[in-house]
Structure 1
Amino acid sequence: MDRLRAPFFWLAGFVLLVALLVECASAFVLDAVHQAGLEASTPGLGIRYLPVLDGLLLYTVLLMGLGILLSRSVIGRVQGIVTLVIAFFGLLGAIVMALAALGLLILMITLLVAVPFGTIAYFVAFADFPTGAATATLGLILILKIAFCILLILAHERFLQNKGIVILSAVSVGATLLLAFLIDFPPGFLASITDAIGALIIAIVGAIWLLILLIGSLLAMISAVRTVRV
């Protein structure tokens, strides 16, 4: 029972990768549609912001996988600097994404309450939110994330004792559920606003997590340097 069931672990990583690709593809496909000159409703920001959290989760799983394949000494040499770089640039990206979501949210609310012409402009630009497509995509993503959690537990029960991956997995699943609720619950013409709220929350949570990761990696590197000097 103490041995890692490797097939379940690698399958869990693959399922999480598929979920991440679905989130990214929702943006890439729509961009391709727009570049082709075709009509497409705005997809919102929420689904495209989920990779901020799921990318961190996949990176954590990747580190655990490398720990299985390589020795700890090899992993230790590169993990600190790689984590530091990812956390630094990821934090900058999350901040930019949060500001973008906040700006769009302010714009939409301003237009909505600026009766009558602003309201008309809002309905023309943002009221036609593809709620059905977004809900279906989020449903698929949620199923994949739940499958990831189950497979990870099947790989080894001790993963439940890893607080970092448990909390991050819970945050990822919770963010998906929250986004689905924010899109489905309000009237359809408000879905763009609530979707932007969800995107803003995801970006802020991701930024906080990346900041913690950045501080942790900095402290680890400082400790390693001091140890070498001693």
Structure 2
Amino acid sequence: MSMQAIGLDRLRIPFFVAAAVLLFLVILVELASIAVLGTAAPAGFDPPTPGFGIRYLAILDLLLAYAVATMALGLILPRGVQGRVQGIVGLILSLLGLLAAIVLIFLALGALILMVTLLLAVPFGTIAYLAVWGDFPESAARITLSLVMLFKLAFCVCLVLAHQRFLQNKGLVILAAVSLGATWVVAFLHSFPPGFLVSIADVIGALVIAIVGAIWLILLLIGSILAVVASLRSVRVG
């Protein structure tokens, strides 16, 4: 569903802008740290985002950001021009994003294999594992995930308040639900296993998120290719 279908006159711009800002904050927290928002960090200390899972959530949320940017583009460009620009930009971004997701999958898989190998290599490997990954920063991760979930829920509310017809965009609704669900899964993986296994559970969650993101990017790539082909055909016919 395009912005033209919604109608600029019926779109509540302040809520749409608020939704975009909230999504930006989500990605900022996921990729940066809790210190970005000034939460309980000592002066001069900027702790990195804990673990793999929270950072990998940005894969899904960057896809959400692309969807929101596409909607905003519909406010500026005519429908025909928007379709062509969206197809070309989507093709480039989905291809680059897919390559990045594949790299991230292999990074998470490599970290998982290393962790499990060390953990099972009793006694020295286990000692090395416990020294590096045995103490997962669960408190920092909990604070970060709480902020992320709060901002995501606020983003969804603002988007619906901007216009209820956004709920008719099934792709957007499913992607937002997947993003929220993935955030909950990461939080669950941080709290369910024994403390010394949280790092492994966190990497497993990151690996699953990266795979889901790669699948979504493949679908976006296919859709972009079809859009570009359709635009080329329309130009030839014209």
Same fold (TM over 0.5): yes
**1:128, CA displacement in angstroms?**
1.4
Q: Residue by residue, what CA displacement relative to the aligned partner does 1:184-209 show, whole Å, maximum 9, x if unpaired? A: 11111111100000110110000000
Indicate if the aligned counterparts of 1:12 and 1:149 stay in contact, CA closer than 8 A.
Answer: yes
Q: Which residue of 1 is the match for residue 16 of structure 2?
A: 9
Give the one of 7, 22, 32 matched to 1:25: 32
- Describe the shift of the 1:228–1:71 C-alpha distance in structure 2 as closer, same or farther (beyond 3 A): closer
Q: Does 1:100 align with 2:104?
A: no
Matches within 5 A, 1:41-52: 43-52=50-59
Deviations 1:88-128 (A, max 9, x none): 01000000001100110011011111111111111011101
1:80/1:188 CA distance change after superposition, 3 Å: same
| Aligned equivalent of 2:153 | 146
The RMSD of aligned alpha carbons is 2.1
Per-residue CA deviations over 1:195-225 (Å, capped at 9, x if unaligned) read 0001101100000000000011011111222
- Cα distance change, pair 163–42 in 1 and its aligned pair in 2 (3 A): closer
Q: Secondary structure at the match of 1:50?
A: helix
Question: What is the correspondence of 1:1-230 to structure 2 with a 5 Å cutoff?
Answer: 3-26=10-33, 43-230=50-237
The CA distance in 1 between the partners of 2:166 and 2:46, in whole Å, is 46
Moved over 6 A (4+): 38-42
- Using the alignment, how far apart are the partners of 2:75 and 2:121 within structure 1? 58
Equivalent position of 1:32 in the other structure: none
Say which SS state the counterpart of residue 16 (structure 1) adopts.
helix
Please give the TM-score of this superposition, normalised by the length of structure 1.
Answer: 0.91
Distance 1:116 1:40, change over 3 A: farther
**Shift of residue 67, structure 1, vs aligned partner:** 0.9
Out of 177-186 and 219-228, give the one that drifted further: 219-228
Name the CA distance, whole Å, in 1 between partners of 2:26 and 2:234. 40
Q: Is the 8 A contact 1:135 1:184 kept in 2?
A: no
CA distance in 1, matches of 2:25, 2:218: 26
Q: Which amino acid aligns with 2:166?
A: F
CA contact (8 A) 2:98 2:217 kept: yes
TM superposition score normalised by structure 2: 0.88
CA distance in 2, matches of 1:41, 1:126: 15
Relative to structure 2, which stretch is displaced further, 184-193 or 65-74? 65-74
Q: Secondary structure at the match of 2:32?
A: helix
- Tell me what 1:35 maps to: none
Q: Is the 8 A contact 1:49 1:202 kept in 2?
A: yes
State the 1:9 CA deviation.
Answer: 1.0
* Structure 1 unpaired stretches of 5+: 30-37
- What letter corresponds to residue 196 of structure 2 in structure 1? F
Structure 2 Cα separation of the partners of residues 69 and 191 of structure 1: 46
1:45 Cα offset (Å): 0.8
